[in-house]
Amino acid sequence: MTDIAHPNTRAIRNVKVLVLAQALIGAQMPMIFVLGGLAGQSLASNVCWATLPISMIVFGSMTTAPWMSALMQRFGRKAGFFCGVTSGAIGAAIAAYALSVSSFPLFLLGSYFTGIYMSAHGFYRFAAIDTASEAFRPKAMSYVMAGGLASAVIGPQLSTLTSDAASVPFLGTYLAVIGLNVFGAILFLFLDIPTPPKPVAGTVHGRSRMEMLKSPIIIVAIVAAMVSYALMNLVMTSTPLAVVGFGYAQSQAANVVMGHVLAMYVPSFFTGHLILRFGVLKIMTIGLVILAGAGLVALAGVQLMNFYVALILLGIGWNFGFIGASTLLSSAHTIEERGRIQGINDMIVFGMVTVASLSSGLLMNCSGGNVTDGWNSVNYAMVPFLALAGGALIWLMRYQKVNRI
């Protein structure tokens, strides 16, 4: 088979590698998000800071996204992904040592290194479309995101198996995370994405960051991605604390998170098809409506079924909103511009996610006199951000209609 006869041959190979990466290496993210808040709660001197380790992960992702994107633009995706798994292994090792000596500051440092891995992980979706034809791009991105389906099962199950495997609670989980990152270093040897051509002196290198941030499409793509991801993180981060706080077992909290992560990635098998058929803005709008539905179900009661349904809706809404926003962004820049705009996109998105994850613990543990007040506060906090993203989508639809875009 030649690339001329089958223009997506290389893209399909890369998608397969990235799906495996999403499924296996990506399993560390649900593992850490299931236990990060609980481990933080056991180490922190004030329970209000229980979710600070998760906030540090997202902060690490936010602060490294611009240089990670620049590194990939200059040296290629493979170099960036190697940097990611190396940082993930270092972060897990530091966190494991921190647990063994009961050091909350060290645990936060390890979490920051995990954030560097998370930053590289976020570029899997963009790497999927680097060698794909225009028609194959939404599907390629969706397939790679669908790899998270396996991570949704593998991660929480590994957490359950390893959290008490050592004499120190949660230590075994972080040792398992080291192994996943070592495997990742081998897996990425099979990735085949050309390094972007180096700029030639005297040629146009595309728009500057400020020029791109004036584009209505780019603005709305960033806002929608930011809101979708931040709200998902806001509620998901508090969920293990809420489930355990209402008297359910830690294993039930892990199962709720597993159901949530499954819901995040199962729709990816058809999200790309839906975007091609109905248009990206409609799918993003549906995603916001589903996110609102998640909040309503969470506020309706605290039975275990409420947690399952709310977190499943939260995952589906995130999928439609985030994949839609990423697809919209990819349609609004050239290959010369991708290193600039993808980096600033993820910096802004994960900046808001950092705020959301930190706010999650504060709202959950310190905004009322009991678990019910805290859980309700987390879900009410979704309202203004849903209004922001919904307003942005309506504005873009009207803008395109007026300008016949």
The string of pLDDT tens digits covering residues 90-121 is 999 999 999 999 899 999 999 999 999 999 99
Cα–Cα distances (Å) from 146 to 120, 380, 399, in that order, read 17, 29, 32
Give the pLDDT of residue 290: 97
Contact call for residues 92 and 36 (beta carbons, < 8 A): no
Cα–Cα distances (Å) from 40 to 33, 37, 206, 328, in that order, read 11, 5, 44, 36
Residue 1 has pLDDT above 50, yes or no: no
Lowest mean pLDDT among 137-141, 171-175, 275-279: 137-141
Mean pLDDT over the full length of the chain: 86
Tell me the residue type at 94. I
List pLDDT tens digits, range 38-81. 787 788 777 777 778 888 888 898 889 888 888 998 899 999 99
Residues 6+ apart with CB under 8 A from 115: 56, 57, 58, 59, 60, 61, 62, 63, 64, 91
Distance CA 217, CA 186 (A): 37
Give the pLDDT of residue 201: 54
Residue 282 has pLDDT above 50, yes or no: yes
Dihedral pair phi/psi, residue 169, rounded to 5°: -55, 140
Give the pLDDT of residue 5: 47
Give the pLDDT of residue 156: 78
Cα-Cα-Cα-Cα dihedral sign, residues 301, 41, 228, 268: negative
Give the pLDDT of residue 199: 61
Distance CA 220, CA 227 (A): 10
Give the pLDDT of residue 353: 83
Confidence of residue 204 (pLDDT cuts 50, 70, 90): low
Cα end-to-end distance, the chain, whole Å: 38
Contact call for residues 123 and 77 (beta carbons, < 8 A): yes
Dihedral pair phi/psi, residue 105, rounded to 5°: -60, -40
pTM comes to 0.74
Cα–Cα distances (Å) from 141 to 12, 25, 147, 296, 323, in that order, read 11, 17, 10, 30, 8
Cα–Cα distances (Å) from 357 to 113, 201, 220, 334, 363, in that order, read 17, 43, 22, 32, 10
The domains found in the chain, sorted by start residue, are 9-193+208-403 (1.20.1250.20)
List pLDDT tens digits, range 283-329. 999 999 999 999 999 999 999 999 999 999 999 999 999 989 988 99
Residue 3 has pLDDT above 50, yes or no: no
Distance CA 70, CA 203 (A): 19
Give the pLDDT of residue 314: 97
More confident residue, 289 or 272: 289
Give the pLDDT of residue 2: 39
Residues 6+ apart with CB under 8 A from 189: none
Cα pseudo-dihedral 27, 32, 34, 35, rounded to 10: 140
Mean pLDDT, range 349-368, rounded to an integer? 82
Cα–Cα distances (Å) from 238 to 36, 50, 112, 256, in that order, read 11, 10, 19, 12
Closest alpha carbon to 257 in 38, 58, 20, 41: 38
